[in-house]
């Protein structure tokens, strides 16, 4: 779990941080479930 001090407008104030965490998460989850490429289809 990551805590980011961003409040209601988190995506506007910390988009790069949130996007990095989401990409890392999706890479781990999708990498385990499919062919290992980590791509969203």
The per-residue pLDDT for 13 is 93
The per-residue pLDDT for 15 is 95
Q: What is the mean pLDDT of each run of 10 residues along the chain (41 residues)?
A: 90 94 94 62 53
The per-residue pLDDT for 37 is 56
Which DSSP state fits 13?
H
The per-residue pLDDT for 39 is 56
* Listed residue (17, 16, 37) closest to 26, CA to CA: 37
């Amino acid at each position: 779990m990551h805590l980011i001090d961003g409040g209601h407008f988190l995506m506007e104030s910390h988009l790069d941080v949130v996007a990095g965490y989401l990409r890392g998460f999706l890479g781990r989850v999708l990498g385990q479930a499919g062919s290992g490429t980590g791509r969203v289809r």
